[in-house]
Chains A and B, each alone.
Chain A
Amino acid sequence: MPALIEIQNFEKSFGTKKVHEDINLDIRQGECLGLIGGSGTGKSVLLRSLIGLERPDRGQILVDGIDITKLTEKELIPVRKRVAYAFQGGALFDSMTVFENLAYPLRAHTDLTPRQISEKVMKLLSDFGLAGNDKLLPASLSGGMQKRVGLARAMILNPDVILYDEPTAGLDPFNTTKIQDMILRLKQMGKTGILVTHDMPVAFKVCDRIAMLENGRIGVVDTVETILKNQDHPIMHFAHGEVA
């Protein structure tokens, strides 16, 4: 499979703290790549950089051959329509209802009529098991529901790539399974995914490959199949809590 996203010689620091040094990683079309690592290794920073929410100090991020690190906020708009970001806490607009949150990208980027927008939002809410919640404000939703609404909002423009930032963090097993099934369904639809997570069972279930960040670099990247076959694999040690 060809690489859809290429990260080349990526470096990022915050003040004197160097978070990433010389990161090189390819994300292939249609695959789901897991990105794991201890807390503070910069998984979310790397994920945010893939849609220009963070700028690297050095290096390139090629999305379909276009280096997005050189683009302005305005030039990034087409990239952000293709690459969606599902935030850890949902990042729903708290002054808007669930319906308005989902309608927001459609109103901003499409010429759909209010009726068409309504139909599309209602269908997506139903697909994500959120029917009947359209008039609620985010504050009145549970954490799991907020994450699902956030995922639905990320999906509404039908992106090619979805970046999941710890989608199951803090959820009960029931909601974790729901989110996991949604990611699997999106993968079956041919969507490319990058999953930042600490939840190793979910990573093993939904990912094709897993990359581990260590000391600011990609320490190891391997297919899930290979990892699961080898109990001595560094990622298995991480999964069993034997390394930080």
Chain B
Amino acid sequence: MTEEILIFLGGFGLLVRTVSSEFWRRPFEIRLIIEQIFHVGSRSLPLILITALSTGMVMTLQFGIGLAKFGGAPYVPKIVALSILREMGPVFTSLMVAARVGAGMASEIGSMVVTQQIDAMRALGTSPIRKIVVPRVIACLICLPLLAAIANVIGILGSLIVGTNELQLDPQFFLLKAVTTLKVSDWTSGIGKCVFFSLFISLTACYFGLNVKQGTKEVGLATTRAVVVSSMLVLIGDFLLTKLFFILF
């Protein structure tokens, strides 16, 4: 286990170094980046919308029922809006993207390794990092913060629906409380974390995909590992980044 972790850290570090050097090299692979934005962004949107809506609704219900016993229902908009913007929106969105997109990336790249397509890229004098990894990293860097921002809005909308229908809160009061509670730093800390999460997800998925050695069985293993490791990085990173942002802002 320790050996596996050390191999992962070493390989991941090397991948980060290579990606960093290839990241700014021109010409940019615009067509490939747009293709990946479609895969990462547009195709993840329905899943993100459903996750965000149900998260907002469930949180409002849970908090509402609990706080109503003490006459605290009017505080629900504040609590839910803050929770969604700072934590639930970015983290749940990232976990969903890690599961959907991370798995897809790892299996696609792993299959390309098995069918020698990655070798063919190298043999044709092109860099798989530049053609495969960098467009996926850029697409995640663009899409994940945007998806999280959309998830935040939809989460609050879900909260509003339950708040007005189940807790009998006035919609105007709900929105006023939610909006006046939120500061710019609440938005930026959540979205800022997504920048790091997008790197965790895309680089981890590409690392496990590229390290498939033999056969289709390993593609399945790489896919599972990519989802597990990137989800763990998101969750561990969330704590560390939250702490860091509290210190900085």
- Could you tell me the distance between the alpha carbons of A109 and B120 in the complex, rounded to whole angstroms? 15
Asked whether, in the complex, the Cβ of B125 is within 8 Å of the Cβ of A109, the reply is yes
- Choose among A77, A89, A91, A92 the residue that contacts B125 (Cβ–Cβ < 8 A): A77
Counting CB contacts under 8 A, is B119 at the interface? yes
- Could you tell me the distance between the alpha carbons of A51 and B126 in the complex, rounded to whole angstroms? 13
A-side contacts of B116, CB under 8 Å: 87-89, 91
Asked whether, in the complex, the Cβ of A108 is within 8 Å of the Cβ of B125, the reply is yes
Asked whether, in the complex, the Cβ of B122 is within 8 Å of the Cβ of A91, the reply is no
- Choose among A73, A78, A91 the residue that contacts B120 (Cβ–Cβ < 8 A): A91
Q: C-beta contact mask, B122-135 vs A, less than 8 Å → 1, else 0?
A: 11111100000000
Q: Could you tell me the distance in whole angstroms from the C-beta of A91 to the nearest C-beta in chain B?
A: 4
Q: Could you tell me the distance in whole angstroms from the C-beta of B29 to the nearest C-beta in chain A?
A: 10
Counting CB contacts under 8 A, is B185 at the interface? no
- Could you tell me the distance between the alpha carbons of A153 and B119 in the complex, rounded to whole angstroms? 14
Interface residues of A toward B: which range? 20 to 34
Asked whether, in the complex, the Cβ of B127 is within 8 Å of the Cβ of A87, the reply is no
B-side contacts of A93, CB under 8 Å: 117, 120
Q: Could you tell me the distance in whole angstroms from the C-beta of A162 to the nearest C-beta in chain B?
A: 11
Q: Nearest B residue to A96 by beta-carbon distance?
A: B117
The number of chain B residues with a CB under 8 A from chain A is 11
Asked whether, in the complex, the Cβ of B125 is within 8 Å of the Cβ of A105, the reply is yes
Asked whether, in the complex, the Cβ of B124 is within 8 Å of the Cβ of A108, the reply is yes
Q: C-beta contact mask, B96-122 vs A, less than 8 Å → 1, else 0?
A: 000000000000000000011101101
Counting CB contacts under 8 A, is A53 at the interface? yes
Q: Could you tell me the distance in whole angstroms from the C-beta of B152 to the nearest C-beta in chain A?
A: 33
Known contacts A87-B120, A91-B120, A93-B120: does B125 contact A81 (CB below 8 Å)?
yes
A-side contacts of B115, CB under 8 Å: 89, 91, 94
- Could you tell me the distance between the alpha carbons of A104 and B29 in the complex, rounded to whole angstroms? 13
Asked whether, in the complex, the Cβ of B122 is within 8 Å of the Cβ of A53, the reply is yes
Q: Could you tell me the distance in whole angstroms from the C-beta of B38 to the nearest C-beta in chain A?
A: 13
A-side contacts of B122, CB under 8 Å: 52-53, 73, 80
CB contacts between A and B, total, < 8 Å:
50
Q: Nearest A residue to B119 by beta-carbon distance?
A: A53
- Could you tell me the distance between the alpha carbons of A105 and B122 in the complex, rounded to whole angstroms? 11
B-side contacts of A105, CB under 8 Å: 124-126
- Could you tell me the distance between the alpha carbons of A104 and B121 in the complex, rounded to whole angstroms? 9
Of B115, B119, B120, most buried by chain A (CB within 10 Å of CB) is B120
Asked whether, in the complex, the Cβ of A108 is within 8 Å of the Cβ of B126, the reply is yes
B-side contacts of A109, CB under 8 Å: 125
Asked whether, in the complex, the Cβ of B117 is within 8 Å of the Cβ of A91, the reply is yes
Counting CB contacts under 8 A, is A84 at the interface? yes
Q: Could you tell me the distance in whole angstroms from the C-beta of A43 to the nearest C-beta in chain B?
A: 15
Counting CB contacts under 8 A, is A10 at the interface? no
Q: Could you tell me the distance in whole angstroms from the C-beta of B118 to the nearest C-beta in chain A?
A: 9
Asked whether, in the complex, the Cβ of B123 is within 8 Å of the Cβ of A80, the reply is yes
Q: Which of A65-96 contact B (CB under 8 A)?
A: 73, 76-78, 80-81, 84-85, 87-89, 91-94
- Could you tell me the distance between the alpha carbons of A11 and B169 in the complex, rounded to whole angstroms? 77
B-side contacts of A80, CB under 8 Å: 122-125
Asked whether, in the complex, the Cβ of A84 is within 8 Å of the Cβ of B126, the reply is no
B-side contacts of A52, CB under 8 Å: 122
Q: Nearest A residue to B120 by beta-carbon distance?
A: A91
A53-B119, A104-B124 given. 17 additional CB < 8 A pairs? A53-B123, A76-B125, A80-B122, A80-B125, A81-B125, A87-B120, A89-B115, A89-B116, A91-B117, A91-B119, A91-B120, A94-B115, A105-B125, A108-B124, A108-B126, A154-B123, A157-B124
List the 5 closest pairs (A to B, CB-CB), nearest first.
Answer: A91-B120, A91-B116, A80-B125, A85-B123, A77-B125
Q: What is the interface of chain A, defined by CB distance below 8 A to chain B?
A: 48, 51-53, 73, 76-78, 80-81, 84-85, 87-89, 91-94, 104-105, 108-109, 153-154, 157
Q: What is the interface of chain B, defined by CB distance below 8 A to chain A?
A: 115-117, 119-120, 122-127
10 A-B pairs with C-beta separation under 8 A: A51-B123, A53-B119, A73-B127, A78-B125, A85-B123, A87-B123, A89-B115, A91-B120, A104-B126, A153-B124
